[in-house]
Amino acid sequence: MTTLESTNRPRARSSEWKAIVILILLVPVLWSPPFLLRIFLYQPFNIPSGSMTPTLVVGDYVFAAKYAYGYGRYSFPFAPSWISGRFRAADPAYGDIVVFRSPKDTSVDYVKRVVGLPGDRIQMRQGQLFLNDQPVTRVALKDVSAGAACGGEVGAKVKRWRETMPNGASYVTYDCVDNGFVDNTEVYAVPPGHFFALGDNRDNSTDSRFKSAMGFIPMDNLVGKVTRIFWSLDSRGELRPERMGKVG
């Protein structure tokens, strides 16, 4: 017994000292400005699909402000699953572009626009968004050659609308086809603690209109608010400086 204890103890001390040394070495990294910036303030994301076209397109790189809505389970990498709620919680506003985890698949980050808050009634009628039984103001813009965003020919024309929410948030949406699959929907009643999100590419976005795929999103699943495009590359890998800046 004595021999066993005497041979084990130095190894235990050695392991403890190794752990302490590793922690000491990690301190400069853990407290470095870039690390703290990413963990607590802004997290970078790249846009892999066209669901938010024309606001965000494939090849855009954006910053999401993690402090905007408070900190919860999905604010930090490798956070334990038992964490619930949000510290310094704040709800998004109409028109905010948010990064979140879908309740149907919490392993993937999604980016959409908030159009419905708790207690709201949301519906699409002939492609127009209705909020609490009132049509959200929209103005037709000139068609553009953006068929690729709708899965069609590159030069095909696409309808555009400028949509303005009740709080003044204004943005452009694409209307790929008339009477699309979700251009006419049921009324969605947003439950407490949740929000309703749409893609700006209305006929080419899997969003809250699809109950089985996404549905209502819990506020606790928020990751951050998209604030700025900081880098953008086209399909050939060439820089698109005209796309960099704040997003609306």
Which residues are known catalytic residues? 51, 112
Distance from CA of residue 195 to its chain's centroid? 13
| Sign of the dihedral defined by the CA atoms of residues 103, 106, 110, 113, in that order | positive
The 3-state secondary structure of the chain, one letter per residue: CHHHHHHHHHHHHHHHHHHHHHHHHHHHHHCCHHHHHHHHHEEEEECCCCCCCCCCCCCEEEEEECCCCCECHHHCCCCCCCCCCCECCCCCCCCCEEEEEECCEEEEEEEEEEEECCCCEEEEECCEEEECCEECEEEEEEEEECHHHHCCCCCCEEEEEEEECCCCCEEEEEECCCCCCCCCCCCEECCCCEEEEECCECCCCCCCCCCCCCCCEEHHHEEEEEEEEEEEECCCCCECHHHCEECC
